[in-house]
């Protein structure tokens, strides 16, 4: 295809998407879900919801969102929050660097903008942990600034709309789509258009299973629908295989307390708390030797269920043991912390990677 033909084809695609704009806006206004962060256009609330919604389902976010804003109703209170309390409130959402970066950004907002979210796209984008998508979402949802907010939902909708086989994992593909949307986003309805595209991808042009083309407001303009190739798109390069790590999780307790420990300040689950654990799948004999090496004399050892937890690039295959000892604090020669049930539940942030064993720990302490 000659260069001028390529330009004509690109113009035709953009022109086609421009025709879809009023249809998307109207559909969103009539069909949007009632979500707590859509009540008003509070930039702080929108920011909190958007960070929480990354890698997390909408239904799972609702209770976290309300609890977080109750604890930190203002950006200034978020900036001054003790990290441990912050992480405890985030417990279960995962990807803890998200909330750490939020606090860093909150400090920036307090220092640079009097505790108020700046009403400028570039200034918002300059905050810690905020990239193109989040900056576009805050800018358009809260302030009506006509900037694109391109997430996975939007990438899928636009790829299908154009029947494009470009890999959506490529930075160049995302950049092209951002530029295309910025060229047609309506200045008087930037929020509804951006949220409409996202909503379309979330509940109509869905990622798993057949898209609901029969109720899609732009189905007649959609090339994937015309060519019946919806299920082939979007093209997404397969991620590298995750590394498998075997670990043995230990629920160590006496009559009153359970042992936990803090993870290193850098790396996976940095700075969070965990049940003591060891590399590999250890036998009962190896556990007895380990317990003796740290000054513990097990009274009883009970095998617990196996569990698995998947991170982005690592997969933990875990086996667990309950180890009952006489007195933790008098005998143990490690840096472990000995906490009671209330502290485990209310003070120390323990990641969901250990959730299969958290339930054992808490139920054991009730006995």
Catalytic residues: 50
CA distance 131 to 153: 16
Buried b (16+ CB within 10 A) or exposed e, 94-109: bebebbbebbebbbbb
Q: What contacts 186, CB < 8 A, 6 or more positions away?
A: 21, 25, 146, 193
CA distance 119 to 111: 16
Helix-, strand-, coil-residue percentages of the chain, each rounded to 5? 50, 15, 35
The continuous run of DSSP H or E covering 152 comes out as helix 152-162
Cβ neighbours, 10 Å, residue 271: 16
DSSP string, 228-280: T-GGG-SB-PPPPPPEEEEEEEEEEE-SS-EEEEEPPSSSTTTT-EE--EEES
Taking the CA atoms of the chain, what radius of gyration do you get in angstroms?
A: 25
3-class SS of residue 142: helix
């Amino acid at each position: 295809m000659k260069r001028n033909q390529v330009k004509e084809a690109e113009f035709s695609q953009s022109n086609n998407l421009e025709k879809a704009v009023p249809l998307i806006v109207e559909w969103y206004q009539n069909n949007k879900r009632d979500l707590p962060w859509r009540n008003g256009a509070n930039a702080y609330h929108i920011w909190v919801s958007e960070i929480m919604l990354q890698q997390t389902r909408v239904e799972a976010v609702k209770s976290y969102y309300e609890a977080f804003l109750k604890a930190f109703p203002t950006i200034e209170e978020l900036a001054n929050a003790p990290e441990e309390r912050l992480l405890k409130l985030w417990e279960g959402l995962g990807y803890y660097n998200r909330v750490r970066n939020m606090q860093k950004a909150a400090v920036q907002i307090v220092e640079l903008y009097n505790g108020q979210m700046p009403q400028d796209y570039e200034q918002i984008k300059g905050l810690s942990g905020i990239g193109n998508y989040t900056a576009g979402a805050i800018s358009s949802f809260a302030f009506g600034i006509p900037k694109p907010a391109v997430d996975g939902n939007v990438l899928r909708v636009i790829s299908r709309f154009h029947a494009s086989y470009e890999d959506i994992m490529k930075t160049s593909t995302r950049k092209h789509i951002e530029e295309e949307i910025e060229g047609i986003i309506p200045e008087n309805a930037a929020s509804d258009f951006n949220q409409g595209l996202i909503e379309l991808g979330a509940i109509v042009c869905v990622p798993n299973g057949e898209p609901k083309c029969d109720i899609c407001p732009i189905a007649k303009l959609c090339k994937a629908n015309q060519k019946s190739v919806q299920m082939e798109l979007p093209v997404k390069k397969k991620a590298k295989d995750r590394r498998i790590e075997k670990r043995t999780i230990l629920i160590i307790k006496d009559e009153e307390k359970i042992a936990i420990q803090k993870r290193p300040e850098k790396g996976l689950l940095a700075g969070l708390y965990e049940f003591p654990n060891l590399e590999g799948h250890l036998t009962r004999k190896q556990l007895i030797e380990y317990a003796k090496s740290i000054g513990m004399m097990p009274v009883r050892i009970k095998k617990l269920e196996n569990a698995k937890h998947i991170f982005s690039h690592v997969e933990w295959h875990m086996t667990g043991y309950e180890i009952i000892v006489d007195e933790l604090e008098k005998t143990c020669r490690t840096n472990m912390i000995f906490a009671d049930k209330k502290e485990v539940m209310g003070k120390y942030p323990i990641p969901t990677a250990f959730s299969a064993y958290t339930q054992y720990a808490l139920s054991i302490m009730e006995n």
